[in-house]
Amino acid sequence: MSNIAEEIEKLVSPIVEELKLELVDVEFVKEGRDWFLRVYIDTPDGNIDIEQCSQVSEKLSEELDRIDPIPQNYFLEVSSPGAERPLKKEEDFQNAIGQFVFIKTYEPINGMKEFEGYLLAYGPDAAEVEIRIKTRKLTVEIDKDKIALARLAIDFSA
């Protein structure tokens, strides 16, 4: 996470908590010539609406104008994490047990760097994912420190 994203996370966390929402992720990324500050929020039951996004956006905009932590011009986007919600925190992984996930690793495990399957377990050291290779189901253990990216995924084979 970039320094700006970390700073914004500290700034937006109290706003989100006050509204009884969950902060899922903060990104500060350059796309083409433009910079985007993206804040992903959700409700505990996963039913975020546009009004809640708008409330967070307005309050965060006021704080950003007051503190001005970002030197360049940028677009602020506050939205739902969507169906393919990122898994970043321990709690995210625990809540995703039994769900279909996509995990990308920093280095190959059994010759693969991308895994799609059902998250069976998430412990102190590793995640266990049941993947399918053609008609076979295999359980793969992925060390936590090898996970580069993890998110919920949609199982199109079901």
- 135: pLDDT strictly greater than 80: yes
The angle at the Cα of 21, spanning 23 to 156, to the nearest 5 degrees, equals 65
- 36: pLDDT strictly greater than 90: yes
- 2: pLDDT strictly greater than 80: no
Which of 11-15, 33-37, 89-93 is predicted with the least confidence, judged by mean pLDDT? 89-93
pLDDT, average across residues 42-46: 86
Tell me what pLDDT residue 16 has: 96
Share of the chain above pLDDT 90, in %: 83
The sheet with strand 22-31 has its strands ordered as 22-31, 34-42, 75-79
Backbone angles phi, psi at 152, to 5 degrees: -65, 155
Tell me what pLDDT residue 156 has: 84
Tell me, yes or no, if the two domains 3-79 and 90-152 fold the same way: no
- 1: pLDDT strictly greater than 80: no
Homologous superfamily in CATH for domain 3-79: RimP-like superfamily, N-terminal (3.30.300.70)
Domain boundaries, the chain: 3-79, 90-152
Four-way CATH pick for 90-152: 1.10.3720.10, 3.30.930.10, 2.30.30.180, 3.90.1150.10: 2.30.30.180
Q: How far apart are CA 137 and CA 154, in angstroms?
A: 18
pLDDT, average across residues 49-57: 96
Q: Name residue 138's beta-bridge partners.
A: 131
Q: For 84-99, how does the pLDDT look when each residue is reduced to its tens digit (9 = 90+)?
A: 999 988 989 999 999 9
What token pair was written down for 49?
């609406």
